[in-house]
Amino acid sequence: GAGVSQTPSNKVTEKGKYVELRCDPISGHTALYWYRQSLGQGPEFLIYFQGTGAADDSGLPNDRFFAVRPEGSVSTLKIQRTERGDSAVYLCASSQNRGRWGTDTQYFGPGTRLTVL
């Protein structure tokens, strides 16, 4: 596609509910990233996929957060038992991944604004 797309653009849920956020990366990009952004802050790293596998999930705050990328393209971020503190903008980015010695430029989607009531 032309760019990274994310759905939904907005999600309002109640405390304790389960939510799924979807990311469709730029075609041909093997690397995919999820970030969380709070107002007035830079993006906070959550997880990095290289192909189908999670290469680094060190940023996931706890075991209520999980992400998958089963076919190496679309990814879903899943949040169980949502809490009010999970409210934020969830950003997805993708890059070509030029290998260990390259420097990848990450291209971002528009984000999903999650509000937990």
Partner 1 sequence: EDQVTQSPEALRLQEGESSSLNCSYTVSGLRGLFWYRQDPGKGPEFLFTLYSAGEEKEKERLKATLTKKESFLHITAPKPEDSATYLCAVQAGDSNYQLIWGAGTKLIIKP
Which residues are near partner 1 by CB under 8 A?
Answer: 4, 6, 31, 33, 40-45, 48, 55-56, 91, 93, 95, 97-111, 113
Find the shortest distance in angstroms from Cβ 60 to partner 1.
15
CA distance 77 to 33: 10
Count CB-CB contacts under 10 A for residue 83: 12
Find the shortest distance in angstroms from Cβ 81 to partner 1.
27
DSSP, collapsed to helix, strand or coil, labels residue 86 as helix
52 versus 80: smaller Cβ distance to partner 1: 52
Give the pairing of strands 10-13 and 112-116: parallel
55 versus 117: smaller Cβ distance to partner 1: 55
